[in-house]
Amino acid sequence: MAVGVTRLKRVIGAAAAVTVAFGAAACGSDDAGGTDAGGAVTLEFAQWWGAELPAGEFDKIINDFTAQNPNIKIKLLSAPYASTKQQLVTGAASKTLPDVVGLDGAWVSDFAKQGAITNMSELMTEAKYDPAELASQVQIENKTYMIPVVNFVYPLFVNKDLLTKAGVDKTPATRSEFLDAAKKISASGGDVKGWALPLDTAVPNGIQNDVMSWLWASGGSMLQDGKPNLQSAPVKSTVEYVKSLNDAGVIAPGALTMKEQDKVEKFTNGQVGMMIDSLAHINLIKENAPNLKFEVAAVPAEDGYTGKRGIPYASWGIGISDSTEHKAEAFKFVSYLMSKDTNAKLSTIANGFPGNKNAQPDFSTSDPLFKTAFDIYQQGYPANEFVGLPKSEDLMRSFDEQLQLVLTGKASVDDALAKSQESWSSVIE
């Protein structure tokens, strides 16, 4: 779900990240991957990552691989996200995908059902690759079709000055502490509110990032055995909690038509005390509001919860075409990107977190908040159950519509969840 703030763009289907200006190289090529006269294999790799990284940095990583593997050449097909998506969706339908593809989690289900991307679980077994070092995998029916290479997490952002002004002496760690802090911030004067909740149905990623994040932070799930489980006690508790924040008047006005960029702007302007947002926005916020004092923390959990906390994330995912004749070589390239040292290097230049759970980014030249967030990330686990679901944006939208009825007093929580369950069940078979 793309956003419109300057320097913001997609890092995954349902999330946004800070970016820099990029060139518009077209995805696709008449010179398809194959084997040359000398026996070297050329793999085409289509992705949007190279367009979002500092100039030349991705090429260095690719050149290191080809230096170590002279019989495998990599032809980068780098383009902006929208162009890459258009080309890959077309290629998936016609079974003409490049050998290796950057993936958005929202595409995985459809691509897999079309037979366009291959089952990488088999390739891992053949290559004797240990998947235990992966922070996460996107699976369908216990088969891995996407590996998240770099993760961009969504912690809680807190305006420290507004918290202090409201008489709150510590960052909220539980739901009750968050509600109390949001009430005090909202009562501190002016047009300031405690929290921002973007629920615009045209861009419904607020359901993922700002609503379900409360569920995942307490170890909950919206699925059971891969099927919708929206009438469960944890999901109901989550919706009732969001309703309690609305009933308390602590949510910034205009939530029903608010987009993610509006939330970020309100926080940057000091109009809301807390928000759940992409870590990648740290530099953008500091550039636009250099005097704003804020910190990041784990999303508050249910009172009494002591388990690991799920932290929302978006990813640069990777997959392999099912039609490529060079699956072994393609997976060798994937395993290189997921190796400890390479993955640490890539995540560092991307200002993200590694998909290899043993990799350690270099924070020596980055904002200290990145290190704080990385500690939160390591103490919990990446959680985004929309990744890999069919028609994930439509699922968010239908849930959003029901939640809006709850917040405007037109439906009960039970009725809204029952209708959402019915809607989702018609999509997730």
Domain boundaries along the sequence of the chain: 8-153+312-380, 156-276+390-425
Per-residue pLDDT tens for 322-335?
Answer: 999 999 999 999 99
Instruction: Please answer whether residues 111 and 318 qualify as being in contact, where contact means their C-beta atoms are separated by less than 8 angstroms.
Output: no
Cα distances (Å, whole numbers) of residue 209 to 10, 14, 36, 206, 423: 14, 8, 46, 5, 20
Mean pLDDT across 167-189: 97
Q: Which residue has the higher pLDDT, 19 or 387?
A: 387
pLDDT of residue 26: 34
CA-based nearest residue to 152, from 167, 169, 165, 135: 135
The encoded tokens of residue 295 equal: 């910190």
> In angstroms, rounded to a whole number, what is the distance separating the alpha carbons of residues 346 and 49?
10
| CA–centroid distance for 115 within its chain | 24
Instruction: Please answer whether residues 250 and 182 qualify as being in contact, where contact means their C-beta atoms are separated by less than 8 angstroms.
Output: yes
Task: List residues bridging with 353 in a β-sheet.
Answer: 151
> One-letter amino acid identity for 403?
L
> Is residue 412 pLDDT above 90, yes or no?
yes
Instruction: Please answer whether residues 146 and 318 qualify as being in contact, where contact means their C-beta atoms are separated by less than 8 angstroms.
Output: yes
Mean pLDDT across 263-269: 96
pLDDT of residue 80: 86
CA-based nearest residue to 119, from 94, 101, 90, 146: 146
> Is residue 6 pLDDT above 70, yes or no?
no
The b-or-e profile of 228-255 (16+ CB within 10 A means b, else e) is: bbbebebbebbbebbbebbeeebbbeeb
Q: Determine what percent of the chain is predicted with pLDDT higher than 70.
A: 91
Per-residue pLDDT tens for 8-24?
Answer: 333 333 333 322 222 33
> Is residue 122 pLDDT above 60, yes or no?
yes
Binning pLDDT at 50, 70 and 90, where does residue 29 land?
very low
pLDDT of residue 418: 98
Arithmetic mean of pLDDT over the chain: 89
Instruction: Please answer whether residues 383 and 308 qualify as being in contact, where contact means their C-beta atoms are separated by less than 8 angstroms.
Output: no
- Classify domain 8-153+312-380 at the CATH topology level: D-Maltodextrin-Binding Protein; domain 2 (3.40.190)
> In angstroms, rounded to a whole number, what is the distance separating the alpha carbons of residues 294 and 268?
10
CA dihedral in degrees (171, 160, 5, 2; nearest 10)? 0
pTM: 0.77
CA-based nearest residue to 422, from 233, 229, 141: 229
> One-letter amino acid identity for 357?
K
pLDDT of residue 393: 86
CA-based nearest residue to 52, from 86, 25, 92: 25
H or E element that contains 148: strand 143-153
> In angstroms, rounded to a whole number, what is the distance separating the alpha carbons of residues 80 and 345?
22
Is 156-276+390-425 a CATH 3.40.190.10 domain?
A: yes
CA-based nearest residue to 22, from 62, 60, 49: 49
pLDDT of residue 38: 63
Classify residue 54 by its DSSP letter.
P
Mean pLDDT across 180-206: 94
Mean pLDDT across 83-95: 93
Q: Which residues contact 364 (CB under 8 A, 6 or more apart)?
A: none
Mean pLDDT across 88-106: 94
> In angstroms, rounded to a whole number, what is the distance separating the alpha carbons of residues 207 and 427?
17
pLDDT of residue 106: 82
Binning pLDDT at 50, 70 and 90, where does residue 417 land?
very high
Backbone phi and psi for residue 333, each to the nearest 5 degrees, phi listed first = -70, -45
| CA–centroid distance for 114 within its chain | 24
